[in-house]
Structure 1
Amino acid sequence: MKRFYLLLIYGCFVLPVMAQSPLTEEKESKWRHFQKNEFKFKGYNAWIIAPKKALPGKPWVWKAYFPDWHVQPDSILLERGFHVAYINTNDLYGHAKALNIWDEFYQYLISKEGFAPKVALEGISRGGLYVYGWAKRHPDRVSCIYAEAPVCDFKSWPGGKGTGKGSAADWKKLLEVYGFTEEQALQYDDQPKDNLDRLASFKVPILHVIGLNDGIVPIAENTLLLVHNYILKGGPATIIPMTLGKQTLAGHHFPIEQPAKIADFIYENSVPHLSYVNTKP
C-alpha cells in the first residue's frame, strides 16, 4: 500500500515536467522596430517576429530558408499586422526529417500562439523544396505560396544534371540525408514539380518571381515545369520575372521589384481569415 502512495506522489511531480513547453533559451530582440522572440524549439533555432498590432485571427508568414534575404515584403506585412515565423531545418533539403519538425512547429504555433490555421509559405531558392513538400502534405493549411527563384527539382540543383551548375558538395549531402544512391535520386518522382493534384484541388495560389537567366536554378528545369504542371491540374499560378537592377551569382540573385505587390498577394490570400468571415446572410 505504501508503494502505491509513493507512485501516486511521484506521478504528481512527473506530469508537470512532461507538460513543459518545447521552447528553451528564449530571448527577445528588435528586428527593425518590431519585437523578435528567438528560441530553440525541440533543439532547433527558431523565431517569431510580432507586429505592433496583430490582425484578427493572427495571419502569418512562414519563411523556409534564408530568412534574412529580401525581407521587404515581410516588413510590409508586419506593418499590416502579420506575424512572421521561421525554424532552422537547414541542410535537410526538404526531406521528411525536416517536414516532421515543421509539423510539430506548426501545431505549436496554432495551439499555443493562436496563429491562423492557414499560413502563407515563403520559399527562397532551396527553400522551394521545403514549402512545396510541406504544402503537398497539408494543402488545407496553406493560404498561398510565394517562391523566389525556387528549386523545384533537386536533380537540377544541387544535382546539376541539367543546364545548371549544381553543387557537388550539396548533392553529396542530399544523397546522405535521403539515403539514396545517385541512381535512386535520379529516379525520385516526388519533387516539388510532381504530384501537385491535391494542392491544385485546394486552389492554393502560387506566385514565383524569377531571374530569366538564372544559371544556378534554371527556370526551364524548375519554375516553368512546376507552374506548367500546376496549371494543368487547375491550380492558380503567377510568374513575375525580375528584369531591373544588377543580377549576381549567375543570375540567381536579383533585386525584388515592387515588393508591395508581393505583400499584396499574400495579404489578399490570407485576410480576412476564414474564422472571422461573417457567413450569415
Structure 2
Amino acid sequence: MRSILYFFPCLVIFLTGLSPVDGKPWPGRGSDFHGYAQYDFEYDGLKGRVVVPKNEARDRPWVWRARFFGHRPEVDVALLKKGFHVAYVDASNLFGSPAAVDRWNRFYSYLTKTHGFHPKPALEGMSRGGLIVYNWASENPGKLSCIYADAPVCDITSWPGGFGQGRGSPGDWAKCKKVYGLTDHEAKPFTDNPIDKLKPLADAGIPLLHVVGDADQVVPVAENTALLEARYKALGGNITVIHKPGVGHRHGLDDPEPIISFILKHTASALQKSPSRCLRKGRIPDRRKQQ
C-alpha cells in the first residue's frame, strides 16, 4: 500500500505534466506579468522574483533571467506558455563579480532545494547580463542546460571599460572596478572575463546561442561575441550566432522562434538525461541503474 501511495503522485505528474508544489507557496508581493502571476520577495538578503506558469511543466523547468527583467519579454512569455517558470535575482551593479556569483549560488540553492526547480535551467543574459550568466556558468557547468545571450558583454575592458572600439561608460566603469577591486592598470590585463573561462562549459557540452547587432557600438561584436565564438569553437564547443546586419545595441528578434526553439530543445535534452523529480526524491526506483 505504501508503494502505491508513493507512486500515485508521480503517476499524476506523468499523466498531467504537472509537478507538486512541495507545500511551499511563493512568498512576497504578487503582481501580473503579461497575464501570469509574478512574486517579488526577499530571501537570505536576496531580492528574488519568480513568474509562475498557469500549467506547470513536468520537473519544473525554468529560465533564469539576468538583468533587465521584463525587457523584450517575448521569449519569457512563450516559455511560460510551455510551463516554464521564469526566475530573477537582483545582482545590479555587480557586473558578474564574485559577489554576484555568490548571490546566484544562493538563489539557485533556494529554488532547487526549497521549490524543487529542475537542477539545469536555461540561462538568459542581455547586455551586461552576459557577465553574470557566463561567470556563474563557468563555476557551475553541471547546473545549466544552455545559454542564450543577447548583445552580451563578454569582457569588462570592452564595456564598461571602453578600452577598445566601444564607447564605454565611465560611471559604470568606476562601479565595476570597485566591485572587482581593480585599478585601471590592473584591469587592462584582467583575465577573469567570460572570454577567459570557457573551457569548463565546452568540456560540459553546454550549447550557446548569441544574438547580436553587427553595428553595435556599445558592446562591439568583435570584442565580445566574435572573440568568445572563436575561442569556444577552438575548445570544441557548440555555439550559434544570429547576426542582425546594420543593427546597433538592440535586443531580441522580430521572430523569436529560433531562440525559443533553442531553449526548448536543450531543456528537453537536460530533462531526458536527468532523473525526474520523483526519482530524485526517491519515490520511484531508478530502473536505469538496474539495467
TM normalised by structure 2 equals: 0.83
In structure 2, the partner of 1:8 is: none
Partners of 1:238 and 1:57 in 2: CA distance: 27
> Any idea what SS the aligned residue of 1:114 has?
coil
Partners of 1:179 and 1:86 in 2: CA distance: 26
Partners of 2:268 and 2:107 in 1: CA distance: 22
Partners of 1:198 and 1:94 in 2: CA distance: 17
> Any idea what SS the aligned residue of 2:232 has?
helix
Change in CA separation of 1:100 and 1:255 when aligned onto 2, cut-off 3 Å: closer
> Any idea what SS the aligned residue of 1:61 has?
strand
Mapped contact 1:24–1:41 kept (Cα < 8 A): no
Matches within 5 A, 1:110-189: 110-189=112-191
Change in CA separation of 1:162 and 1:174 when aligned onto 2, cut-off 3 Å: same
Between Structure 1 and Structure 2, how many residues are aligned? Answer: 254
Shift of 1:124: 0.3
Long gaps (5+) in structure 2: 1-24, 280-285
Partners of 2:287 and 2:228 in 1: CA distance: 35
Partners of 2:138 and 2:214 in 1: CA distance: 26
Partners of 2:205 and 2:176 in 1: CA distance: 31
Q: RMSD across aligned C-alpha pairs, in angstroms?
A: 1.9
Mapped contact 1:70–1:256 kept (Cα < 8 A): no
Matched, 1:36 2:33: no
In structure 1, the partner of 2:97 is: 95
Partners of 1:178 and 1:202 in 2: CA distance: 27
Partners of 2:28 and 2:204 in 1: CA distance: 36
Name which of 246, 259, 266 aligns with 2:256.
Answer: 259
Superposed structure 1 runs of 4+ greater than 4 Å apart: 277-281
Matched, 1:50 2:47: no
Name which of 219, 227, 251 aligns with 2:221.
Answer: 219
In structure 1, the partner of 2:3 is: none
Partners of 2:87 and 2:219 in 1: CA distance: 25
Mapped contact 1:62–1:84 kept (Cα < 8 A): yes
Q: AA paired with 2:154?
A: C
Mapped contact 2:27–2:39 kept (Cα < 8 A): no
Q: AA paired with 1:114?
A: G
Deviations 1:132-179 (A, max 9, x none): 000000000010000000000000000000000000111111111111
> Any idea what SS the aligned residue of 1:262 has?
helix
Matches within 5 A, 1:196-211: 196-211=198-213
Name the larger-Rg structure.
1
Partners of 2:175 and 2:149 in 1: CA distance: 23
Q: AA paired with 1:48?
A: V
Deviations 1:183-202 (A, max 9, x none): 11111111101131111011
Aligned-pair identity in percent equals: 41
